[in-house]
Each structure stands twice: as C-alpha cells, then as structure tokens.
Amino acid sequence: MHQNMKRTIILLLFLSSIVFSQSFKFVAMSDSRGSDNGVNTPVLSALIDHMLKNYPELKFVVFAGDMVNGHEYDTDRTKRELLHWKEVMAPIYNSPNIAWPGVWPVVGNHEIRHRDDENNFRDVFQDVYMNGPKEQKGLSYSFDFGNSHFCIMNTDAWYYGDLSDTTDDRRDWHQIKYMDWVEADLKSATARGMKHIFTFSHEMPFPIGGHLRDGLPNLGSNFKGKIDSTRQYYLDRRDAFWNLMQKYKADAHICGHEHTYGRQEVNGVYQVLNGSSGAPLYNFNPRYDKDSTTGWTEMTYEEAVPYYKALNYNYGPGKNSQRSENFVGKRAFNYSVYEVLNDKVIVKTYGAYPTKGSNTKFDMDIELIDEFVIEK
C-alpha cells in the first residue's frame, strides 16, 4: 500500500474514533401513573423491556415527571408510590451498560401535591447533582454527558411563603421560577463548548392536546379571550424561556403532562412531548369537525378558539390546531431514543396504540411510530 494512503486510512480511523466516542444514546419518556400502587406497571414495564432489548447500549433515561398518582393529603403514600416506581424501573437501573444514576428524574405536578412532597422527592431521588437554584436543590439541576448538556427544570414547585406559618403555602405550578439560573446554566454550557443542549420540564411550553388550559402558558379554565395581568405573566415567562432556547441554540425541549406523543419545531427549536408511558391517553386538540367533549381534558372547537388565538396556533378548516404546521403527533404510549452524534441527533420514537375502548392498555407489538433528525 502506498505510504500516503496508509496515512490517510490511519487518520480516518483516528477521526472516526473521536466521532464514535462522542456518540451515545439516551431515552426520554414521561407520565406513567396508573392503578398499580400509583403506577401503570404493565405499560411501563412493556416499554422498558422493549427499550432494553433493542438498545442495550443505552446510557440513561430522563423521565419527565408524573411517574405516580401521588396524593394531596397522604404524603407517605406518594413516597411509597415513588419507591414502587423505582422498583418497576429496576431493569434500567440494573442494566449493565447504564451510566450513573440510570434514570434522571423530573418533577411533575403529581409528585408535588403537598408541602412535604418536595422533600419526599429529594429522599427518593438522592442521586442527582445538587447544582440547582438554592431552594431547588435536588429538584432542578443540570449535567454534561459527552458532548451534550442537560438541564432539568422543576415547573411544578411549591410556594412556602412564611415558613413559620403553615397556612401560608400553596402549589405554585406551571412556571419556571428560576429563569436566571436557567440562563446562567445554558450560558456556561455554551462557554464550555457543549455541542448539544437538551432541556426538560414536566409542563410543556406549547400544549398539544388535553391541557390546552395549562402547561406553561397556563391560560386557565373558561378563558374567553381576555388576557389579564396574571395570564400575561405566564405567557411572558413561557416566551422568555423559549427565547433562551433560541438564544443558546438548544436542540430540543422535552416534556410531558399531556398523555400523548407530539413533536414540532417552534422558531427553530424542537418541543418533543413524550406524554404517556402508562397514564390515560388523551386526544389531540379538537379538530374543526369535532363537536363533542369527553371530559375536562377536551374542548369543543368553539371553546378552544380563544385558546388557539392567544397561543398563536395554526387552526381553522384543514389545519392541525397546533402551534406549528410541522407538528407530528401520535396518540400512543411511547418513548423516544436520542442517538446523539457530533453534528446531528437522530430521534426515534417507539410506541403502541391503545386497545379499542381503553386508554390505559395496549395489546399490539411496540413499533417505530416517528423518526426525525435534529441537524446542528
């Protein structure tokens, strides 16, 4: 072999080893609450089995909240449910190729329903970094893995008010309370040369169906179109967060809360909603021809229009009633695998559609339901 060719081959092998060493896979999933001690164990277990069988090289899972039902008064019960959830997730924690801590937890509204619940969560999930904002240690945090940065935000915090007054407290859901910390975190990740940025919260910036009333925009019930100062506050905070995503060129924001799958690109940044690895499946936002409701999570088209307008959605005859025209959604139990390469991320979502007449069970084989690429 010619000497130059030899050199070229060695150089190529060297370069490909660098690229290879930086690539890794992680999984995102969310919302597994159900009736077995707070967990939908059959669905969650089936998804985990499928994942570990097909991706034994998986490095970790990020779970975007609402692992369990939780309880408003019985905070011991919430803790027991979380411990049970960890047992159901044991195959991931024990997988031979998994990296510490196996599962990165995100706080959901079902985990924080009582003033003691934040400490419960910290007790159950001690293996996280304690680098979050002062009041949020163990609940909001961030870390680097390979060429990527991961920022985990609690969007369902508790408001304590006067600590000596046990009546001066309440849930303080649907917002990112520590935006300065988020900005400093993304800024330093960029300064360190992190190639990819992934952010996570339970509540979604752009509702896709079932929770058009809340999530981060938090327009509330019976919204008829008047944006008062409270609604403006939530919308502004949501917008401020998405501006940060654009500013720091984040790859994707991954969330849950709505029990279905949907991804879309908003101003150049992906929102991937991985709702339901067991929680009762929701329908998408009403279609133009939809004229009936099936409970609190769904609205008639007429009821939904003020929300669509305030949220700047793509709605009307033949439209998808979503924030983006490029929205892709599947009403399926699901998880997404992120294959992180140097210059792109390949995202594959696997799922199963519910058994006819049920929104908590499935009886089909889990299959690939979506695939897209995030180019850097």
Rule CB under 5 A: which residues touch Fe ion?
Answer: 66, 108-109, 257
Coil/strand/helix, residue 239: helix
Q: Residue 146 CB, nearest distance to Fe ion (Å)?
A: 30
Residue placing its CB nearer to Fe ion in the complex, 109 or 359: 109
- What does the alpha-carbon distance between residue 234 and residue 30 come to, in Å, rounded to a whole number? 23
Q: Residue 258 CB, nearest distance to Fe ion (Å)?
A: 8
Residue placing its CB nearer to Fe ion in the complex, 156 or 370: 156
Q: Residue 109 CB, nearest distance to Fe ion (Å)?
A: 4
Residue placing its CB nearer to Fe ion in the complex, 66 or 251: 66
Q: Residue 204 CB, nearest distance to Fe ion (Å)?
A: 9
Q: Are 63 and 30 in contact (CB under 8 A)?
A: yes
Residue placing its CB nearer to Fe ion in the complex, 61 or 107: 107
Q: Are 136 and 154 in contact (CB under 8 A)?
A: yes
- What does the alpha-carbon distance between residue 273 and residue 14 come to, in Å, rounded to a whole number? 37
Residue placing its CB nearer to Fe ion in the complex, 46 or 68: 68
Residue placing its CB nearer to Fe ion in the complex, 196 or 257: 257
Question: Which amino acid, residue 23?
Answer: S
Q: Are 371 and 316 in contact (CB under 8 A)?
A: no
Of 132, 157, 154, nearest in space to 143 by CA: 132
Q: Residue 202 CB, nearest distance to Fe ion (Å)?
A: 6
Q: Residue 201 CB, nearest distance to Fe ion (Å)?
A: 11
Residue nearest to Fe ion (CB): 257
- What does the alpha-carbon distance between residue 140 and residue 33 come to, in Å, rounded to a whole number? 21
Residue ranges with strand state E in 13-107? 24-29, 33-36, 39, 60-63, 103-105
Of 281, 318, 316, nearest in space to 301 by CA: 316
Burial class (CB in 10 A: 0-12, 13-18, 19+), 332: buried
